[in-house]
Amino acid sequence: MVDNSQVQQIRDSVDAILNGRHDEIYGTVRQCVAEVLSIDPAKVSPHASLIDELGAESIDFLDLIFRLETAFGIKIPRDGIRLAAQDGLSDGFEYAGIVTAAGLERLRVLMPEVDTARLTSGFRSHQIPSLFSPETFVRLVAWRLASQTSAV
């Protein structure tokens, strides 16, 4: 059994922030997604895949992250979800491009917004961005806000 206490602490801190600020953070994320993708905000739903349903490309993620960092006064690390998921995994997060069982377990903890049916054996690490939705970015913002709070 893998020790997931570290990623569970991240999830708990995110959930604590979202208990009081979810709607506020989502509203900003939704607006930023709409601006970056030049679409009507009404087309942005919390669980829509940014790539598969809204047509985002990798350059759009950079623009979105910049806008969110500016709006919230935070820094979102590149590959933040992946780095948090693989931190401390002695057996590794992936092998030959396929996310390990331990890696999948950690992604499930860190990304509760993702349907667990998508995180199954054979899932490739390069597919992680296809999981991203506006709700993923809500959780990323909350994670960074929680990190700032705990650093004070």
Rounded (10°) angle between helices 58-72 and 5-37 = 100
**pTM for this prediction:** 0.90
For residue 34, pLDDT beyond 80:
yes
Question: 74 or 2: which carries more pLDDT confidence?
Answer: 74
Sequence ranges of the domains in the chain: 5-145
Q: What is the pLDDT of residue 79?
A: 77
Q: What is the pLDDT of residue 151?
A: 59
Q: What is the pLDDT of residue 78?
A: 81
> Which positions ≥6 away from 24 have C-beta within 8 Å?
none
The class that CATH gives domain 5-145 is: mainly alpha
Q: What is the pLDDT of residue 111?
A: 92
Confidence of residue 3 (pLDDT cuts 50, 70, 90): confident
Mean pLDDT estimate for the chain? 91
